[in-house]
Chain A
Amino acid sequence: MSFRVDDLVAAAERIAKAAREAKDELNAQDGRLGDGDLGITLDKGWAEATALEVDDPDLGRYFLALSKAFQRVSSSSFGTLLATGLMAAAKGTKGRNAVEYHEVTDLIAAARDAMMARGKGELGQKSVLDILDALAIATRDLNDPGDIAEAARQAVEVSLETFRNQPAGLGRARMYGEASIGLDDPGMLATRHMVNGLISDNSAP
């Protein structure tokens, strides 16, 4: 099975809706470990992404346009990291009109690696990178959108659970040290909202 630009456009709409609904909650969660604007970053970025005029079937160019939407509206580090992940997906799908679902795992892994390099982060530091790593592993060898959606949902929850009681090791949250123990990482929570939005019709993307 494969997905095309039309599927991604519909997926972006679902993520944008989830981001809009989560805005205030995410701002409040980010306010405990960051500067409290993560909900705004996410909402603005996906609103911009869903306002794009799409008339090109090339998946690479669509992912590039998504990346540029985040580059345009946000100069915050999380916005730039998302733009980086989307750019990695653009490179992985350049010149193609359809991508098989079993390639989703590779796209997530490429995004994880590019974001790791840009943010100078490592796995195990309680960040969006850990949740992407869990997603890449959970979706490996799956080719059915329903299976991928369920695996992704579980991976997100397990990842949050695993890291909740560890201190933050990356970004602004790291400065809170021991005080970050017991609190979910805001970037991981943002990713949960995006993933849950994405799979809200029980398919992926």
Chain B
Amino acid sequence: MKKILNDPAAYVDEMLEGMIAAHPEIYRMAGQRVIARAGAATRGKVGIVSGGGSGHLPVFTGYVGKGLLDACAIGDVFASPSAEEMADSMRAANGGAGVLRLYGNYGGDVMNFDMAGETVAFENDIESTTVLLADDVASAGPEEAGKRRGTGGMIFAFKTAGASAERMDDLETVTRIAQRTADNCRSLGMALTPCTVPQAGTPTFQINENEMEMGMGIHGEPGIWRDQLRSADAITDEMMDRLFDDIKLADGDACSILVNSLGATPQEELYIIYRRAATRLQDAGARIVMPLVGRYATSMEMTGATITLCKLDEELETLLKEPCHCAFWTVM
């Protein structure tokens, strides 16, 4: 293992300390492994929390900020936070108007967040709702869409739900916006090389020098096929074909797209992917809105990329374009 660290066991805590030291105007610690927006929760505003394992920055903690998340619970690398940390994140986000739990569909996270919701309802009378991102089309077929894992789609859901909460919509509305965004997102990933979890010390999977894997999950979950590495256009075409199979775009439909690096893939290669993906979207008759190209949801130092499509109606498009600010993403 070749990593810049002091102690694998201190990896997450030292990362959080650094993040808060660098951006004290945005983040504050609100408990053991709980990050909240600097300053107190806004009275009367719906709080939005997320959470999950470390190793995906800017997901999850990075997106705490104005117009996005209010608080976040973070676990060890690729491991669920405890239910108590999740409950603390909900207490930190609570402005008296209820809290939305908005996160990816992973078994451990779901069980712990549900437990946390029950605890704060019993102990603190905090009303809360859940919206799960299940946008990774490689993880289950359309007939079992509810079993899919959450990936890049959560960026769009954080943004639209965050903007909805910022304009002081009520919990039901913020939840509805988040759910509709989640329903309209489809993602697919591909990987070239694995990453290493600091406390494990060995790569999450093995792959030959000249191979790629289509459909791999953001923790190295097995994908659809593994074969010789193909050209950027061929890879992008297959990814777009698979996404179009799952979400129908009619002529003139507004659609945002995220071309995301899993960590080590450089911005240059993302633009090579985007070049082709944009052509495919335009050929399909879609109107591209606010494309995102960069590191938005990573898997440590994994090489590879994900593409997320988010189909937009008028309301979602308006919310996507509203201002937001965190250390990793600003919309003016």
Contact = CB atoms under 8 A, between A and B. Distances in A.
Interface of A: 64, 67-68, 71-77, 80-81, 83-84, 87, 90-91, 118-119
Nearest to B85: A75
Contact of B84 (A64, A72, A76, A90): A72
B82 A74 contact: yes
B127 interface: no
Contacts of A67: 119
Interface string B100-119: 00000001100110111011
Classify the interface of chain A: helix, strand, loop or mixed. helix
Interface string B107-145: 110011011101100110000000000000000000000
Contacts of B108: 75-77
Given A80-B115, A118-B111, A73 B82 contact: yes
B62 interface: no
B119 A71 contact: yes
Contacts of B81: 75
Contacts of A83: 83, 115
A80 B116 CA distance: 10
A84 B115 contact: yes
A71 B84 contact: yes
Interface residues of B, number: 19
B119 A87 contact: yes
Interface string B67-93: 000000001000111111001000000
B82 A118 contact: no
Nearest to B86: A71
A104 to B, nearest CB: 21
Contacts, number: 49
Contacts of B111: 77, 80-81, 118-119
Given A71-B84, A75-B83, A75-B112, A87 B107 contact: no
A150 B119 CA distance: 33
Contact of A71 (B75, B79, B87, B107): B87
28 contacts: A64-B119, A64-B122, A67-B119, A71-B82, A71-B83, A71-B115, A71-B116, A71-B119, A72-B82, A73-B82, A74-B82, A75-B75, A75-B79, A75-B81, A75-B83, A75-B108, A75-B112, A76-B108, A77-B108, A77-B111, A81-B111, A83-B83, A87-B115, A87-B119, A87-B122, A91-B122, A118-B115, A119-B111
A90 B84 CA distance: 16
